Structure 1
Amino acid sequence: MWRVWKSVRTYREDPEWRYRKRESRQWLDAFGKPGHPFGTRGNHVKHVLEGQIRGYQATLFHLAAVHDGGKHPTDVSWYSVVVLTLPSALPATSVSVASLVRLLGTAPLPPRAGTAVHLPPGRKPRMVACSVDPAFAELALTERVIRMTADAKMGWRLHEDRMIGWIANYKPYERLIELAEAMTDVIDEFPPTSCR
């Protein structure tokens, strides 16, 4: 955990980044909750960092997603999250390593996203993916994109003009920047007209 605190201290003082210690629960509404990686019983955000990564406006933060528990009434899943602002809106879509979201017990996309079309299972690691637009899913969720997501041990979701990516646990900002770069690599694989 000391690496996380050291990273926070370093980036908090970097003039190229804007830092906030906390955000309200309502602040997350813009990111389309509920839906992965957010909890149904509450969400706590801290260490928000905003800046630019590869030409995209990026928001990095640590998330405690509170959800229904098994042995106890509630449980918490901890994530490091990156939100990239895209040039245009894309169909609601989600892809994740299954173990990242298994405990959340929620649907990958918010209910208002429409009816999700699930993609074929059978990959290792096990992946969960769905999209509200079968035509977009066929073009964008290629085997290469699924493999890139698995290799980065991440999940990601498209919500309007944002791409939300997450990895397990609280990580230093350097690791979140790597996550953001992996997300931009995925964006580069999308159909040419989708978000340019």
Structure 2
Amino acid sequence: MWQVRNSIRRYREDPEWHNYRKKESAEWIRQFGIPGHPFGTFRNHALHVLEGQVRGYPATLFHLAGVRKGGRYGTISNRYSVAALTIPVSLPATSVSVGTLIYRLRSESLPPRAGASIHLPAGSKPRMSKCSVDPAFAELAITARVVHMTADAKIGWRLHGNHMIGWIKEMKPYEKIIALAETMADIFAEFPPSSPAWERSDRRPA
């Protein structure tokens, strides 16, 4: 934890980052879409929120304690490091994740209308999961390269409106959360310009 504390101290003093907040409300978290991975189904706590930019995208970094009901003591808390990029267009709710990042959540990746998650490709390691409310968009966006990039980085990511939300296990130093956000930007750049309702010129902010 000393690495996390030192990282918080450094980035709070970094002029390129701003608006550090020790914690945020459950209502604030709702902007990133609940229910949906990696958030808990009972309670959510956002800690050490830091705002800035990554690869030209507005970025919000934070530690998450997502709580669900169950277990010996009535609740189970899952801890993640989260990066949320504000992207220049709203895209269909879609999720791709390494399976080990989500199995303890015991919840679907997206609201029920998205249908059940699909494991892909069959028999692959690590086990991967995808889900989308728009199968046509998912067919275009979730290419083999995107799946491999997600698997290699051992992350999960999800689209919610004009946010791309990514997560890794446990509370990590900001350096690792920034690396997560950079991987997300690389994945977003892989989405084809022919995706419905958006064009190549909208892929990056001016």
Fold conserved between structures, TM > 0.5: yes
Shift of 1:176: 0.5
Letter paired with 1:9: R
Q: d(CA) in 1 for partners of 2:53 and 2:154?
A: 23
Instruction: Identify the residue that residue 70 of structure 1 maps to in structure 2.
Output: 71
Gaps of 5+ in 2: 196-201
How big is the alpha-carbon RMSD for the aligned residues of Structure 1 and Structure 2?
A: 1.3
Q: Deviations over 1:10-58 (max 9, x none)?
A: 0011111111111011101111111100001100111000001101000
Instruction: Identify the residue that residue 17 of structure 1 maps to in structure 2.
Output: 17
Decide whether the 8 Å contact of 1:117 with 1:131 is kept in 2.
no
Instruction: Identify the residue that residue 198 of structure 2 maps to in structure 1.
Output: none
Structure 1 residues 10 and 148: alpha-carbon distance in aligned structure 2, compared to 1, 3 A threshold = same
Structure 1 residues 107 and 118: alpha-carbon distance in aligned structure 2, compared to 1, 3 A threshold = closer
Match of 1:161, SS state, is strand
Match of 2:96, SS state, is strand
Match of 1:16, SS state, is coil
Instruction: Identify the residue that residue 4 of structure 1 maps to in structure 2.
Output: 4
Structure 2 residue 111 is the aligned partner of structure 1 residue 115: no
Shift of 1:156: 0.3
Structure 1 residues 90 and 118: alpha-carbon distance in aligned structure 2, compared to 1, 3 A threshold = same
> Is the deviation greater in 148-157 or in 68-77?
68-77
How many positions carry a matched residue from both structures? 194
Structure 1 residues 16 and 81: alpha-carbon distance in aligned structure 2, compared to 1, 3 A threshold = same
- The TM-score normalised by the length of structure 2 is 0.90
> Identity rate of aligned residues, in percent?
61
Shift of 1:137: 0.7
Q: d(CA) in 2 for partners of 1:143 and 1:68?
A: 35
Q: d(CA) in 1 for partners of 2:71 and 2:44?
A: 18
Gaps of 5+ in 1: none
- The TM-score normalised by the length of structure 1 is 0.95
Match of 2:100, SS state, is helix
Q: d(CA) in 1 for partners of 2:181 and 2:168?
A: 11
Q: How does 1:103-182 map to 2 (within 5 A)?
A: 103-111=104-112, 114-116=113-115, 118-121=117-120, 122=122, 123-182=124-183
Decide whether the 8 Å contact of 1:87 with 1:161 is kept in 2.
yes
Structure 1 residues 187 and 156: alpha-carbon distance in aligned structure 2, compared to 1, 3 A threshold = same
Match of 1:40, SS state, is coil
Letter paired with 2:2: W
Decide whether the 8 Å contact of 1:117 with 1:134 is kept in 2.
no
Letter paired with 2:166: G
